[in-house]
Amino acid sequence: MHNSRVPFLVLANLGLLPFAACKQEEAPPVVAPTGATPTTTPTSTSTSTPTSTTTSTTTSTTTSTPIATSTSTPTSTPPVPSDGMKTCTVDQDCGQGYLQCVIAPGAADGGKPAGHCQHRQNYHLGRPLVVDGTARMASYARAPVVSSHELEELMRAAREEHASVAAFARTVTELMALGAPLSLLQKTQAALADEIHHTEMTLDLITAATGERPVLGRLPAAVAPLRSGDDAAAELLVDVLRGGVIGETLAAAHAETQQKLATDAALRTFYGKIMEDEARHAALALETAQWLLRESPALTSVLAEETHALASGGSFETRTLVMPLLAVLA
């Protein structure tokens, strides 16, 4: 993945390749951990609990650690000890960003700050539907039993693509609430249509291999309350950066790798299409972030926090892929 062409595809969709060469030189260097072999460990999106009682027969169920999405501003700033990490009692004390409050066993002292704010390394492939800090997906209402790794990968991918439809639908509505231009709404709507197509393509491949077409079940989280109020723009920016710029870039890179590994021509064509579309979605996320930052310059603090979170908490491969893209927003 070191030679991935995904970042260049993303920037080409923005028409920024000459600019990218300059910004890549200016971006903070990405240093591999000492004594470690760089690996990519993005987190797969988590399973939501459908209201339907239908039992799925699929063996593909994935879960993830909940995402900390709180963007509320604490009423007081926790003290910063000499080691440079904020002390805290709850996650909200850590402010915006990929932060969690880590408290050692027995360290609590009458509600006084006893933990330290630390960055999570928890990025998802693609644009997840995140509600209440957790990425949600529908379970299968009906699905074939699969045994090969390739089919298990496709079963998981179909659920993720399906959830992304809801994620983009909610983004369209939230952008409208913030007064986004029609051109941005149109591109976001087109990305939603891409995700429907990706879901259909994935189900087609599974059907061709097993003779049975999977049926995705309910996804109640799709109609969860939307972001609103004073923090709506900040919360949307965080979602766009994590799920769009980072998540879609990781999804494109993953598809690039799968295309190289695939022995079947249909799979190679499928993953090539996914790579191109997800790279375009990552570019759309950058464009959306640019608009949000132009409309609300105060959101530069959110961008700085998310960039720092990636630099300090993301895997080497994730940082290598994404840091040059975030430099476009600087």
pLDDT of residue 79: 41
Question: How far apart are the C-alpha atoms of 123 and 64, rounded to whole Å?
Answer: 10
How does residue 137 score in pLDDT terms, banded at 50, 70 and 90? very high
pLDDT score recorded for residue 2: 58
Structure tokens of 321? 């892929």
* Dihedral in degrees, nearest 10, Cα atoms 292, 294, 297, 301: 50
Q: Within 13 Å, how many C-alpha atoms sit on residue 268's CB side? A: 6
Q: Distance from CA of residue 322 to its chain's centroid? A: 12
Mean of the pLDDT values across residues 91-119? 60
More confident residue, 91 or 314: 314
Nearest one of 307, 286, 207 to 7, comparing CA atoms = 286
Average pLDDT over residues 27-50: 42
Task: Give the pLDDT band (50/70/90) at residue 314.
Answer: confident
Number of H helices, E strands in the chain: 9, 7
How far, in Å, CA of 153 to CA of 123, rounded? 18
What pLDDT is stored for residue 78 in this prediction? 37
At residue 127, does pLDDT exceed 70? yes
pLDDT in tens, 160-218: 999 999 999 999 999 999 999 999 999 999 999 999 999 999 999 999 999 999 999 99
> Using CA atoms, how far apart are residues 130 and 190, in angstroms rounded to an integer?
20
Percentage of the chain beyond pLDDT 90 is 61
